[in-house]
Copies of this chain bind each other. A is one copy, B any other.
């Protein structure tokens, strides 16, 4: 399955299928005079003798968020330069969302930008690898330093997902669920029916492809987040704060953020757009820790959300809410109101 982006120029292809990595990479490499592989250390340990046996002399990235520190950024770029990287070389970034963010930011900035290919290896990264956003973390929050730098291709080999631990599948499913909400009610219903008893990889491929297409729609229309791209932030405003505070996996925190979004959307609209009880049962059945919402501190969360880079103002917090499935709008919620929403949500749990 191939999905082609639809920008005015600089388009690229997203390849999604099982067992496509080596053959796809070979085709792209042909156009460059050299290639540098940046590979997440955990992914390399798991696949160096199988899916990644063709990878020569990889630069190993620390696993997960550790690859997104300033020090790691320095290490990656200095190693690329040490190896004599030139502008007509290619970088291939292999790993989860963190590796993609860190490797992408290195590709965006070394020599002021070198071509790169994203090879996402987790379910979560089906989201983060699309759209050209790259970043490292600040002491003040995640992804606060970065660049927009489109890859030349995304090669999403689903074979990597077969060994994914269940909690990572759950985390990635948070973004799959978000993309379904962004599309329409029917997609949400179909997805929930397919996962009524169990979230598993078998049934995921069509929802992954649909999710990528949904995301593509938003990022090609609004690459730099001045308008509707912000809607992809659905569930992320509180989600990021929870993720940061509790070191919770991204997609798990997003699912909690989505639950808050549903609550706040209902309140704002003064009607039940979302049947909170049914979503709560569904989330809890699959192990999303909604009980964490009971423990959060309103003021601390608001401080963390105030640092979100999408927030323009300091008195109010910008949120993406919904009027209906597939119908987002952007609104600023003032501090008192927001505090009230969070308190009410805590009591309701």
Chain A interface (Cβ < 8 Å from any Cβ of B): 33, 70, 73-74, 77-78, 81-82, 84, 86-88, 108-113, 133, 135, 138-141, 144-148, 224, 306-307, 309-314
Contacts and interface: CB of A to CB of B under 8 A. Distances in A.
A81 B313 contact: no
Contacts of A87: 309-310, 312
Contacts of A74: 70
Contact of A86 (B82, B112, B138, B313): B313
B86 A312 contact: yes
A112 B313 contact: no
User: Which 5 A/B pairs are nearest by Cβ-Cβ distance?
Assistant: A111-B309, A81-B140, A112-B146, A70-B74, A88-B312
A55 to B, nearest CB: 22
Contacts of A110: 144-145
Contacts of A146: 109, 112
B148 A133 contact: no
Contacts of A77: 138, 144-145
B112 A148 contact: yes
A252 to B, nearest CB: 24
A206 to B, nearest CB: 32
Given A78-B140, A111-B145, A113-B224, 15 more contacts: A33-B312, A70-B70, A70-B73, A70-B74, A77-B138, A78-B138, A81-B141, A81-B144, A84-B306, A86-B309, A86-B311, A109-B109, A109-B146, A111-B144, A112-B146
18 contacts: A70-B74, A77-B144, A78-B139, A78-B140, A81-B141, A84-B314, A86-B311, A86-B314, A87-B310, A87-B312, A108-B147, A109-B109, A109-B145, A112-B145, A112-B146, A112-B147, A112-B148, A113-B224
A117 to B, nearest CB: 19
B307 A113 contact: no
A224 B87 CA distance: 11
Given A33-B313, A74-B70, A81-B144, A112 B133 contact: yes
Give the copy number: 2
Nearest to A74: B70
A140 B144 CA distance: 26
B147 A147 contact: yes
A195 to B, nearest CB: 33
Nearest to A110: B145
Contact of A307 (B81, B88, B109, B307): B81
Residue among A84, A144, A307 with the highest chain B CB neighbour number at 10 A: A144
Residue among A70, A112, A135, A141 with the highest chain B CB neighbour number at 10 A: A112
Contacts of A81: 138-141, 144, 307
A113 B133 CA distance: 11
Contacts of A148: 112-113
A93 B316 CA distance: 29
B312 A112 contact: no
Contact of A112 (B78, B113, B135): B135
Contacts of A311: 86
Nearest to A314: B84
Nearest to A139: B78
Contacts of A133: 112
